[in-house]
Structure 1
Amino acid sequence: MITLHKLGARSRVLVEGIKGRGCWRLTEQYTMLTPPKALLLVSLAAVSSLAQTIHGNLFLFVPDLGACGFTNTSEQVVASVPSKVFSSFPGAGANPNKNPICHHSVFIKFGSTNLTVPVVDYYVDKSTTNVGLSRAGFVKFADVNDGIVHNVSWSVV
């Protein structure tokens, strides 16, 4: 299947389908989207969705065997993202262990403190703006006894 997009004066392919005859005739200028260009556009779309900054709360997350299939401890700096973010990540499928988000990190910022942390799990909650951080990372933002830090910004990178 060839996908054509009318974009202007570059890389012109002139085609029109003749209904019911299965043949084509040249009539209008279109730009053909080659497989490498299509892959580039899909990649750029994925990156732009990755770069979306989310504002919410940071909470203390206690890791164990996570959705990515890794067993982690509170001594490791790891993160948990909302289930909606996890399951809607580009390329996510039925097996959470194979979700591409498991090869990404979250960049968390609060005031002058920021941290980039690997995603290892998701949490189930109505909120899609919060992010969980293990004790080893949480202490860089607040005392563990606080349990939550309000008004952080974060994004999947």
Structure 2
Amino acid sequence: MLSSLTLSVTLCLFALVSARPVIPRATDFTGGTGHGTYYDTGLTSCGKTYTDSDLIVALSHFFYDTYPGATANPNNNPVCGKKLTAHYQGKSVTVTVADRCTGCAMYDLDFTPTGFEALSDLSVGRISGVTWTFDDSASEPAVSGNGTTPDPDSDSSSGTSTNSSSGDTADSTDLDSSSAVNITTQPGTTVNTTTTSSDIGSAPPSTKRRIWARETSLVF
């Protein structure tokens, strides 16, 4: 009786274990061929937020979760930020991996509307036979924004401060009349300018002068 009960429990456990789905693993992590779809993006599995105009793509969860180096935290998956180029009927588009698609087969790609339109019309909805491979270089996807870069040639002469010690000479050559130059002087300092003269405020030695003038020589 006891042996029969043990056998029954063993068979039940075996059936439960056997019923667990086997997660398929990619056999080629350099690319593949599958279907192409599109979706409305937002906050992605890679931990960043994008818009439908960004050229990003979601990989199948089978591929994403088994990619070498993947952990339980999808934000840290090393596949995030990798670029790939997809081809379909003579057209191609380069996109950046930024998301995970739970409804995709192993080598399917889920694009943003902008990415999908580079391969086919949105009205088609789903295309088959999309081939893709990872590019050699990986980089972070570009996020829509209005970043600016300072101009290295911009004028920074206004409000410039020049300090000179006793016995030194400070020369100014082409100051704009609307620009102010602060010069700290010490006894015995000579300030030479080579442009038109205007107005110079008076101040005792060893004080800061605000000069709006040109072609003026000050000797203390």
TM-score tier, shorter chain, comes to 0.5 to 0.7
Q: Is residue 2:111 matched to residue 1:107?
A: no
Distance 1:101 1:133 in 2: 16
Gap runs ≥5 in structure 1: 1-47
| Secondary structure of residue in 1 paired with 2:69 | coil
Residues 61-140 of structure 1 aligned to structure 2 (within 5 Å): 61-125=39-103, 127-140=105-118
Distance 1:153 1:71 in 2: 26
| Secondary structure of residue in 1 paired with 2:55 | coil
- Cα 1:50–1:126, aligned 2, differ >3 Å: closer, same or farther? closer
Greater CA radius of gyration, 1 or 2?
2
- Cα 1:133–1:126, aligned 2, differ >3 Å: closer, same or farther? closer
The amino acid that maps onto 1:110 is: Y
Superposition misfits of 4+ residues, deviation over 2 angstroms: 48-51
Residue number in structure 2 paired with 1:36? none
Report the count of equivalent residues.
Answer: 109
User: What is the alpha-carbon root mean square deviation over aligned residues?
Assistant: 1.8
Residue 111 of structure 1 and its aligned partner are, at CA, apart by 2.2
| Secondary structure of residue in 2 paired with 1:109 | strand
- Cα 1:96–1:75, aligned 2, differ >3 Å: closer, same or farther? same
Residue number in structure 2 paired with 1:147? 125
Residue number in structure 2 paired with 1:33? none
Contact 2:63 2:107 survives alignment (8 Å): no
TM-score, structure 2 normalization: 0.46
| Secondary structure of residue in 1 paired with 2:80 | helix
Identical pairs, percent: 24
Q: Is residue 2:35 matched to residue 1:57?
A: yes
Residue 63 of structure 1 and its aligned partner are, at CA, apart by 1.0
Higher helix share: 1
Distance 2:92 2:77 in 1: 25
Higher strand share: 1
Residue 49 of structure 1 and its aligned partner are, at CA, apart by 4.4
- Cα 1:126–1:108, aligned 2, differ >3 Å: closer, same or farther? closer
Gap runs ≥5 in structure 2: 1-26, 136-220
Residue 151 of structure 1 and its aligned partner are, at CA, apart by 1.1
Distance 1:125 1:61 in 2: 11
TM-score, structure 1 normalization: 0.64
- Cα 1:86–1:71, aligned 2, differ >3 Å: closer, same or farther? same
Residue 128 of structure 1 and its aligned partner are, at CA, apart by 1.4
Deviates more, 1:76-85 or 1:120-129: 120-129
Contact 1:61 1:79 survives alignment (8 Å): no
| Secondary structure of residue in 2 paired with 1:116 | strand
Residue 58 of structure 1 and its aligned partner are, at CA, apart by 0.6
Name which structure has the greater RCO, CA cutoff 8 Å, separation 6+: 1
